[in-house]
Amino acid sequence: MPDLIHYAIPAFVILVLAEVIVTAVQQKDYYEKRDTFSSLAMGIGNALIGLVGKGLMLWVYDLIYEYRLFTVDPTAWWGWVLLFFADDFSYYWFHRISHGSRYFWASHVVHHSSRKYNLGTALRQTWTGTISGAFLFWAWMPLVGFHPVAVLTMQSISLLYQFWIHTEHIRRFPAFIEAVFNTPSHHRVHHASNLQYLDKNHAGILIIWDRLFGTFQAEEERPEYGLTKNIETYNPVRIAFHEWADLWRDAWKAGSLRNGIMYVFGPPGWSHDGTRKTTRDLREEEKTPIA
Ligand SMILES: [Zn+2]
Ligand SMILES: [Zn+2]
């Protein structure tokens, strides 16, 4: 089965190079050499792992499809319309929970580990997403009758869409586009560590889900990219696994089953003694400043 992402790699490379050149000509600081090389390394690793990972996903989706409740005709136009919305809805929840639960964050943090925001950052992708079960957020789709190949194809289309929005060069589109679609402006907010921007704009293609489920934030102040605590490494292996290592260390030393479960599945930043901060803690703190 062809993977659209693999075919798109030459275009990714050309567009990143083009943006590097434009950025250099304009003397902007959107790129940093070591940062870009580690983003590319993460992208290459992700694509290689995808060769096996997509097979695993297809196998699981096929298994579920055997027991489907209905059949969505993959050749009908309305089947593709349903597929588009079902995928984008699943992506929203996958992505929102990837920020809300540390188990999924351990994979997704990779994508947020750059302090730069450019087309190269789009390629900074996880190596552990499939193996840790991210694809299960789409598992309901083969169950209700979407063909497994159609599900995988739409996931690839969504990722292709999300490539070009990782840029500082496009400021804002007309309001009717910003109202409906995920855009560079909306996604800059998503990559920023400013308090008002944390855990906002989880959209894939359509921003409507964030507006609907209360996680939308417009771009107002200048975004500061990266994590609330940056990882200070360009080593791809450390970028891929550092949060997993921290997660297991915390769980191991948790002292009780409840604390262990919270360290693994609770929100990033959760700690049993309150020594670390979740997004909610940070917001509470700002609301009630210590005199
Ligand atoms: Zn994210
Ligand atoms: Zn992104």
> Using one digit for the tens of pLDDT, what is the confidence trace for 196-236?
999 999 999 999 999 999 999 999 999 999 999 999 999 99
Question: What CA–CA distance (Å, rounded) separates 76 from 279?
Answer: 43
Cβ atoms of 229 and 112 within 8 Å: the answer is no
| Residue recorded with tokens 């990559």 | 191
Answer yes or no: are the C-beta atoms of 119 and 187 closer than 8 Å. no
- Give strand pairing partners of 192: 225
Distance 96 CA to ligand 1 centre (A): 8
Q: How far, in Å, is the centroid of ligand 2 from the Cα of 192?
A: 10
Counting ligands in written order, the one closest to the CA of 121 is 2
Nearest ligand, CA 120 = 2
How much distance in Å is there from the Cα of 191 to the middle of ligand 2? 6
* Amino acid (1-letter code) at residue 64: I
Q: How many CB atoms are closer than 10 A to CB 153?
A: 19
Report how far ligand 2's centroid is from the alpha carbon of 286 (Å). 26
pTM of the full structure: 0.96
The rounded average pLDDT for each run of 10 residues, N- to C-terminus, in the chain (291 residues) is: 84 97 97 97 96 96 98 93 98 98 98 98 98 98 97 97 98 98 98 98 98 98 96 96 98 96 98 95 86 56
Q: Which residues contact 69 (CB under 8 A, 6 or more apart)?
A: 143, 144, 145
Q: What is the DSSP letter of 134?
A: G
SS3 of 192, please? strand
Asked if residues 189 and 218 have their Cβ atoms less than 8 Å apart, the reply is yes
